[in-house]
Amino acid sequence: MSKEYRKNKRVKPVVEILLINTLTEKGMGEVLNVSRDGVLLNCKNGIEPGEMFQTLWKFDSKDYHDIVVGLECMWTESHRKDFNFCGLHVIDISDEDQAQLEKLIHLSPHEV
């Protein structure tokens, strides 16, 4: 998607984020970039558009606390069996967790 059509700044996070599906307690994939209303993942397992997830985001830095985020898969794009882009939209987040996400975005200088 062309950058000029985006509503919100999308960044490569300055810290590693582990996204865990709270239902299965398994990691969902590698976070490639994030915005205040979504995340791009390299998903290891197949995720289909329309699927919804309750997720726990664990940060590898003591400067951030874990957050809980409801996500819906908007699109997927497969490149190989182990390399699938998944665009997920934030559908549920508390005000406190939204503030944590915005702090991360503000401190991540690499806009994509």
CATH number of the domain to which 90 belongs: 2.40.10.220
What residue type is assigned to position 65 of the chain? H
Q: How many domains does the chain have?
A: 1
Please say whether the beta carbons of 17 and 29 come within 8 A. no
Local confidence pLDDT in tens for the 112 residues of the chain:
444 556 788 999 999 999 999 999 999 988 999 999 999 999 877 789 999 999 999 999 988 999 999 999 999 998 776 678 999 999 999 999 999 999 999 999 888 8
Is 36 a member of any domain? Answer: yes
Domain extent, residue 72, equals 16-105
**Whole-number Å distance between alpha carbons of 108 and 55:** 21
Report the DSSP beta bridge partners of residue 21: 26, 55
| Residue 5 pLDDT | 54
| Residue 45 pLDDT | 76
Q: Which ranges of 1-110 would DSSP assign to H, the alpha helix?
A: 95-106
| Residue 1 pLDDT | 43
